[in-house]
């Protein structure tokens, strides 16, 4: 009897230890969390639509800007002159058109004794041509006004100016990127989860985000899971033929699937900056649920 008690007591201790080790394994190896996650945000690179010297810089580095705020102004003089030229052109074309129209109207009333049919028709066509030329001048004026308007560069989104290197006097060519604006409405987390942890990730599942900088956790939820990553063992070779790498790995590493996580709320005083490292822990499902789902999938 005493011998049996000795055996049972020993086995109980070992069983408790085994259970703890099993839970540890589940916790570290199977539970859906990743240390490999980054804060991301959309960056709008601002490029002017018209060329010229930057005459007025209205923002400082790291400044908060709202949609529609003026960022900088390109030298307006040239574009004001262009508008004046276009206006003069419109006036000239208008005068020309009026003259040609009155000519045509007068000739239409004359009999064939005074003017030939050909001359009559010609005067009609010349008047039509003058009208077209006037319309073109009006369109050119609109373009000149648009260019003048575009010398004032405005923020297309709410956000933050970052890494500002632009200075007054710099020449801005059309389409060259001068300034980066981080869209403050687009902050999100990209979690790179191992593919073994996919079963417990579904859109809508709640997660906690722990920034590397510490502080309270951010709340979020899974917004979407990437439906494709590159197959690194099969790049296209020349002539579009498959080029399968002839390796067999004894140890297979789980690949990472990017998972987009929406940040639901940021506690006061927590700074979120694009590029930050963070840890994402799925909290939405109970531990029993994911252990059950993993076990179910293993033995199916």
Strands 159-162 and 188-194, sheet pairing: unpaired
Residue 143 and residue 107: Cα distance in Å, rounded? 36
Residue 185 and residue 42: Cα distance in Å, rounded? 9
Interface residues for other proteins in 4-43 (CB under 8 A)? 6-7, 9-11, 13-21, 23-24, 27-28, 33, 35
Total of residues contacting other proteins (CB under 8 A): 24
Other Cβ atoms closer than 10 A to 198:
15
Read off φ and ψ for residue 190, nearest 5 degrees. -100, 110
If the CB atoms of residues 44 and 281 are measured against other proteins, the closer one turns out to be: 281
Residue 287 and residue 282: Cα distance in Å, rounded? 10
Least Cβ distance, residue 277 to other proteins (angstroms): 8
Beta strands across the sheet bearing 52-57: 152-154, 70-74, 52-57, 171-172
If the CB atoms of residues 35 and 125 are measured against other proteins, the closer one turns out to be: 35
Interface residues for other proteins in 192-221 (CB under 8 A)? 212
Least Cβ distance, residue 272 to other proteins (angstroms): 18
If the CB atoms of residues 221 and 287 are measured against other proteins, the closer one turns out to be: 287
For residue 116, give the 3-state DSSP assignment: coil
Least Cβ distance, residue 21 to other proteins (angstroms): 5
If the CB atoms of residues 20 and 224 are measured against other proteins, the closer one turns out to be: 20
If the CB atoms of residues 24 and 168 are measured against other proteins, the closer one turns out to be: 24
Identify the H or E element spanning 16. helix 2-25
Smallest CA-to-CA distance from 226 within 248, 204, 254, 195 is with: 195
User: Is 98 near other proteins (CB under 8 A)?
Assistant: no
**HSE, side-chain direction, 13 A CA sphere, residue 287:** 11
Interface residues for other proteins in 257-286 (CB under 8 A)? 279, 281
Residue 134 and residue 95: Cα distance in Å, rounded? 9
Least Cβ distance, residue 206 to other proteins (angstroms): 17
If the CB atoms of residues 15 and 77 are measured against other proteins, the closer one turns out to be: 15
Least Cβ distance, residue 27 to other proteins (angstroms): 8
Least Cβ distance, residue 187 to other proteins (angstroms): 22
Q: Which residues bind other proteins (CB under 8 A)?
A: 3, 6-7, 9-11, 13-21, 23-24, 27-28, 33, 35, 212, 279, 281
């Amino acid at each position: 009897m005493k011998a049996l008690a000795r055996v049972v007591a020993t086995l109980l201790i070992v069983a408790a230890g085994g259970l703890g080790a099993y839970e540890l394994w589940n916790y570290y190896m199977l539970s859906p969390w990743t240390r490999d996650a980054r804060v991301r945000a959309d960056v709008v690179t601002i490029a002017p639509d018209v060329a010229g010297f930057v005459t007025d810089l209205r923002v400082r580095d790291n400044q908060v800007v709202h949609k529609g705020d003026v960022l900088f102004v390109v030298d307006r003089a040239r574009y004001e002159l262009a508008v004046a030229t276009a206006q003069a052109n419109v006036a000239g074309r208008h005068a020309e058109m009026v003259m040609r129209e009155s000519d045509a109207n007068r000739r239409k009333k004359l009999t064939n004794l005074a003017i030939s049919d050909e001359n009559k028709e010609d005067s009609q066509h010349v008047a039509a041509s003058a009208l077209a030329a006037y319309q073109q001048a009006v369109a050119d004026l609109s373009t000149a006004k648009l260019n003048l308007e575009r010398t004032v560069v405005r923020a297309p989104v709410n956000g933050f100016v970052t890494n500002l290197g632009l200075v007054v006097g710099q020449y801005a060519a059309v389409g060259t990127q001068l300034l980066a604006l981080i869209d403050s409405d687009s902050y999100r987390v990209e979690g790179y989860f191992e593919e073994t942890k996919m079963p417990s990730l579904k859109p809508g599942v709640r997660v906690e985000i722990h920034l590397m900088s510490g502080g309270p956790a951010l709340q979020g939820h899974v917004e979407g899971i990437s439906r494709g990553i590159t197959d690194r063992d099969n790049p296209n070779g020349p002539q579009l033929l498959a080029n399968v790498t002839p390796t067999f790995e004894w140890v297979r590493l789980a690949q990472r699937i990017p998972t987009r996580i929406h940040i639901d709320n940021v506690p006061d005083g927590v700074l979120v900056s694009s590029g930050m490292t963070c840890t994402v822990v799925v909290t939405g499902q109970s531990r029993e649920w994911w252990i059950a789902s993993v076990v179910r999938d293993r033995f199916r």
